[in-house]
Structure 1
Amino acid sequence: MDLQALLFTAIAAFAIGLLLGPIAIPILHRLKFGQSIREEGPQHHQVKAGTPTMGGVIILIAVVLTTLRFAFDNLDTAMLLVATVGFGLIGFADDLIKILKKRNLGLTAKQKIVLQSLLTILLFLMLYLQQGRSEGFAIHIPFSNWALSIGVLYIVFLLLVLVGTTNAVNLTDGLDGLLSGSAIMVFAAYAIYAYWHTNYDVALFCAAMVGALAAFLAFNRHPAKVFMGDTGSLAIGGGLAMVAVLTHSELALILFGLVFVIEALSVMIQVFSYRTFGRRVFRMSPLHHHFELGGWSEWEVVLLFWFASFICAFGTLALLSY
């Protein structure tokens, strides 16, 4: 496989996404699948209330169709799609509950953890069946040839990777185009990384995700015509986590997706500080809201995060190439 195949895959997913947008968005409008805006968020976000959500279905359909058409027919491809669609369905259920009950709370935290854990167990069993994985599981240390074999305890590590990544990515979806553009950078870097390591099925999936996200960004850029909802953000997080697992770069994912990590940490720090000391570290969390309340325009914050995501993703790629 050559790089032209990756480019063609991305273009195909992009084209499918562009075609789906004008079809899906009016349908979401007619179904009155509008976004509820949390009251404690920035007040100028209230004008976004009613904007169609669950637009992540556009990303999911484009990625699935393109991957099934161009990627290899093997267990790796199956696991990538199970992770992406599986977490996407959890997000879909969350979005649907929010819409039907007209509130900003869908599935409870406990319900999400249970569903995500069950999906993780399924993916672990698929990994166990994969050739070469049945003899043991190892955590590969970035920038070295070391690997720590942990056997069946890998399921605990896998749970941390999948649940941690999906929720960190989900927290980043707070401004028009923020997650779409940031995720494009990470998947693009991973497409090259997987290609270098001859994980061609993973590389093709990443290329499909880049194309689908770029198409969605055409409708999601400020002012957004549609939001991806948890349907999209959890699907992106699940797919990204599985890419890291299949390329043995679970720890390196922290650097590839450092923007997502920082967003999640900002929430954890804020909650800990407020509950322990009664004081807030940030004006508001996740971190992108801190910049907004500091006087930055939404577009300025998005551009900053896109640039940071590019530096982190491709900087990590460059370091791992040595």
Structure 2
Amino acid sequence: MQELLYAAAMAFAIAILAGPLVIPMLKRLKFGQSIREEGPERHYAKAGTPTMGGVLLLVALTIPSLLFAGNNQEVLLALFVTLGHGLIGFLDDFIKVVLKRSLGLKARQKLLGQIVMALALSYIASIYFGRGTDIWIPVWGVTIDFGALYYLLIFVVLVGTTNAVNLTDGLDGLAAGTTTVAALAYAVVALSFGKPDLAIFCVALAGACLGFLRYNAHPAKVFMGDTGSLALGGALAAVAVMTKTEFLLVIVGGVFVVEALSVIIQVISFKSTGKRVFKMSPIHHHFELSGWSETKVVTVFWLAGAVFAAVALSLLAVSRSGGM
């Protein structure tokens, strides 16, 4: 479809062209990133780099999505979830960066916002759109009706995905690059399930992330902040819900899952034994402290993301063809 190419190209172009306007504005507003004292020493040089660049991502995603697929209600819902999480992230960033309150939004405040998003997504998708409460199971290619548990599952998917992408956003270009790969994979998934408008949303997301990488790749001129990372997670989760492939998202977003698991394992190990499994979590910092350069870590994780996406699409193809 020509619309897919146009949407991706427009999102990419908007991110590229808006960067020189947005980044200096963030600098003037003194929206500078603070660096964790316990983090790798090489990161100290990044202090003061403009953050909240997720605004740039959201603009680049929203315009082509509305222009090429704005008449599709599923795309509008995906945008609502994405921008809603972007707003939560923006408030968190604003409190941390501008108001100088290091913890940002309180955990219960952030959780409340995510609960509202999850309820809206699950209710509108299952009731208003008539999507139901069933979920497609990869490999077997069957759907299982989860009934009332569906709403709890969507909450877990949404919160888990947004926080996993947020944890991944710790190195220059890491979250943007892995999201680009995941978004392209989900464009294929959407097309496979007969949802071309959602595919347009996905390629616009990929184009926006790719354009953002022009300024976010090492050495980063801008960080996306929670404004961007929470929104990216919300976007991927929303598309997974709309295509009934919540379990496939675990494979497509394998890098995000590994990052989140590394933090969980580290916390459990330290609290139960007083010992750390990794030199530092999330796991990308473990490789940094093991002597890998930042660009090597990011490149390897991008490649890992591509492998996870390829595995997921292979499972999709086999399942859809009835091969298993």
TM bucket by the smaller chain?
over 0.9
Partner residue of 2:115?
117
8 Å CA contact 2:70–2:76 kept in 1: the answer is no
Distance 2:310 2:5 in 1: 18
Moved more, 124-133 or 20-29: 124-133
The one of 196, 201, 209 equivalent to 1:200 is 196
The SS at the match of 1:95 is helix
* 2:47 alignment partner in structure 1: 49
Identify the residue that residue 21 of structure 1 maps to in structure 2.
Answer: 19
Aligned to 1:288: 284
Q: What's the offset of the Cα at 1:319?
A: 2.3
- Correspondence for 2:84: 86
Query: Partner amino acid for 1:62?
Result: A
1:16-71 deviation line (CA, Å, top 9, x unaligned) = 11111000000000000000111111121111010000000011001111100001
SS in 2 for 1:252: helix
Cα 1:303/1:103, change in 2 over 3 Å: farther
Counterparts of 1:123-138 in structure 2 under 5 Å? 123-133=121-131, 136-138=132-134
Which residue of the other structure, out of 263, 267, 272, is the alignment partner of 2:263? 267
Question: What TM-score comes out, normalization by structure 2 length?
Answer: 0.95
Whether 2:210 is the aligned partner of 1:214: answer yes
Amino acid at match of 1:197: F
CA distance in structure 2 between the aligned counterparts of 1:128 and 1:300, rounded to whole angstroms: 42
Q: How many residues align?
A: 318
Give matches, 1:1-322, under 5 Å. Answer: 2=1, 4-133=2-131, 136-322=132-318
Is the Cα contact below 8 Å between 1:202 and 1:243 reproduced in 2?
yes
Greater shift, 286-295 or 192-201, is seen at: 192-201
Please tell me whether the aligned partners of residues 36 and 103 of structure 1 are also in contact (alpha carbons under 8 angstroms): no
How many angstroms apart in 1 are the aligned matches of 2:52 and 2:178? Answer: 19
CA contact (8 A) 2:60 2:208 kept: yes
CA contact (8 A) 2:40 2:289 kept: yes
Shift of 1:195: 1.3
| CA displacement at 1:72 relative to structure 2 | 4.6
Q: TM-score, normalised by structure 1?
A: 0.96
CA offsets 1:60-107 (integer angstroms, 9 cap, x no match): 001111100001513201111011000010000000000123354211
After superposing the two structures, state which structure 1 stretch, 262-271 or 98-107, moved more. Answer: 98-107
Amino acid at match of 1:312: F
Q: Does structure 2 conserve the Cα–Cα contact (< 8 Å) formed by 1:71 and 1:204?
A: yes
Partner secondary structure for residue 147 of structure 1: strand
Amino acid across the alignment from 1:299: T
Q: Match of 1:148, SS?
A: strand
Query: Which shifted more, 105-114 or 49-58?
Result: 105-114
What's the CA shift string for 1:247-301, capped at 9, x where partnerless? Answer: 1110011000000000000000000000000000000000000000000000000
Contact 2:52 2:228 in 1 (8 A): yes
Measure the CA separation in 2 of the matches of 1:223 and 1:119.
Answer: 34
- Runs of 4+ displaced beyond 4 Å: none
Task: Report sequence identity in percent.
Answer: 54
Two-structure CA RMSD over aligned residues (Å): 1.2
Q: Is the CA contact (8 Å cut-off) linking 1:12 and 1:66 kept in structure 2?
A: yes
Aligned letter for 1:107? L
Match of 2:137, as an amino acid? I
Q: Which stretch shows the higher mean deviation, 95-104 or 66-75? A: 95-104
